[in-house]
């Protein structure tokens, strides 16, 4: 091995370490977005289930045996459910609650913000990204 080729790998190591650090930072930031999406999705599913069970018009049910959801009550129940999940780190809130025309199904949409950890260190880097999740639940009559 010629003497002048010694240590040539040493020159490439700082570049390789920098590339691995950047890739690792991207993985952490995009991983946090994925986790936020899953947390909001779980919160939306729980809120839809809660709304489908607790927003039933009890007077109509006892009078006729028919199940119908009350839209205002469904929204209040969904907001309570999301608040109980403790998603303050995502700034989560109920964006929309829709009860279908038949009054038996509810769709809950939850919005939040996934905050980046490393992208903020880059000049003009974003601090996070908005995340949205929806879920539907149906209230059915007992046989």
Domain assignments of the chain as residue spans, ordered by start = 7-138
pLDDT along the chain (143 residues), means of 10: 66 87 90 95 97 94 92 96 94 96 95 90 86 95 67
pTM for the structure as a whole: 0.84
Asked if 45 contacts 131 with a C-beta cutoff of 8 angstroms, the reply is no
């Amino acid at each position: 091995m010629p003497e002048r080729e010694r240590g040539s790998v040493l020159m490439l190591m700082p570049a390789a370490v920098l590339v691995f650090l950047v890739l690792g930072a991207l993985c952490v930031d995009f991983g946090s977005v994925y986790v936020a999406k899953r947390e909001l999705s779980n919160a939306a599913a729980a809120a839809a289930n809660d709304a489908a069970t607790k927003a039933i018009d009890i007077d109509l049910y006892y009078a006729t045996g028919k199940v119908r959801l009350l839209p205002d009550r469904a929204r209040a129940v969904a907001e309570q459910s999301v608040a109980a999940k403790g998603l303050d780190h995502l700034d989560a809130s109920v964006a929309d609650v829709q009860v279908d025309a038949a009054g038996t199904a509810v769709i809950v949409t939850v919005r939040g913000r996934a905050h980046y950890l490393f992208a903020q260190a880059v000049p003009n880097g974003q601090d996070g990204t908005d995340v949205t999740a929806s879920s539907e639940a149906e209230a059915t009559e007992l046989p």
